[in-house]
């Protein structure tokens, strides 16, 4: 598998899954747009790592802004004249127990949907003309098992990812045959985001729990997700579109309608 001559735009690629995707594309010869909203230092580090492997540009932009989405796409076109791959990775959440209906406001829903769903749509709109022109191009949406099973950090997050999965189906139909659209739905992913949010002790416990309880006895990593993104972006999946693939070490096999989803 190689991406020589291909241009990949990856939103939210300063850290975590996005950064792993950017490095993976660059390692395989792809030209990469590294995007960030606030994490400038981390984004510069990711950009530097990618530039050591291939060609890369760094673009600040918030996907909530349609103008910023256009700016991100334009950076790729101004630099290389094409876009072959779009990875919609930028995301946000608010932690709130699902039963705590007073814990989420309308503003919380608008904020989470603005990044997780509307931002992805705006990026697709900004990149679609170039993706169509390139032909045999690919959009990969980073969703979550939360959107499949109604679990996760909050109802707003779960709903936004469920909507992303539905949008993936809609746009797979609408943008074919030139553009394939698929979604990756990770379960637990052991990134710095998790450890920074909950601390090292709880992070280690979560990893140990995943290794003990998932069918594959594995705690997911950003690189695990990036490998699946590479598959969807490559010619290896040329006959696949509108697919939603769970990447969770088989954790979904343990989820039943009677499982606590909070």
Interatomic CA distance for residues 183 and 130, integer angstroms: 20
Q: Sheet of 31-36: strands edge to edge?
A: 56-60, 31-36, 7-10, 85-88, 137-142, 179-186, 244-247
If we measure between CA atoms, which residue out of 125, 148, 142 comes closest to residue 88?
142
Interatomic CA distance for residues 204 and 39, integer angstroms: 24
Q: Is the peptide bond before 9 cis (omega within 30 degrees of 0)?
A: no
- Length of the chain equals 262
Q: Is the CA virtual torsion 222, 227, 228, 232 positive or negative?
A: positive
Catalytic positions, please?
157
First-to-last alpha carbon distance for the chain, in angstroms, is: 40
Interatomic CA distance for residues 247 and 145, integer angstroms: 8
Angle between helices 155-175 and 120-134 (to 10 degrees): 20
């Amino acid at each position: 598998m190689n991406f020589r001559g291909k241009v990949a735009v990856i939103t939210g690629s300063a850290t975590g899954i996005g950064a792993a995707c950017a490095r993976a594309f660059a390692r395989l010869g792809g030209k990469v747009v590294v995007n960030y909203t606030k994490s400038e230092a981390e984004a510069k580090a990711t950009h530097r790592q990618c530039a050591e492997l291939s060609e890369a540009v760094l673009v600040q932009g918030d996907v909530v802004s349609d103008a910023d989405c256009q700016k991100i796409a334009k950076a790729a076109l101004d630099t290389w004249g094409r876009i072959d791959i779009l990875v919609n990775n930028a995301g946000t959440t608010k932690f709130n127990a699902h039963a705590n209906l007073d814990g989420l406001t309308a503003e919380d829903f608008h904020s989470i949907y603005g990044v997780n769903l509307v931002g992805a749509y705006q990026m697709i709109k900004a990149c679609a003309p170039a993706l169509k022109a390139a032909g045999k191009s690919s959009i990969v949406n980073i969703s979550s098992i939360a959107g499949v099973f109604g679990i996760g950090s909050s109802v707003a997050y779960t709903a936004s990812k469920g909507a992303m999965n539905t949008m993936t189906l809609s746009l797979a139909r609408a943008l074919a045959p030139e553009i394939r659209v698929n979604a990756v739905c990770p379960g637990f992913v052991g990134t710095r985001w998790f450890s920074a949010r909950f601390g090292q002790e709880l992070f280690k416990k979560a990893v140990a729990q995943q290794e003990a309880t998932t069918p594959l006895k594995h705690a997911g990593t950003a690189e695990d997700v990036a490998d699946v993104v590479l598959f969807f972006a490559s010619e290896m999946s040329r006959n696949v579109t509108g697919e939603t693939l769970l990447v969770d070490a088989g954790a979904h096999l343990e989820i039943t309608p009677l499982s606590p989803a909070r």
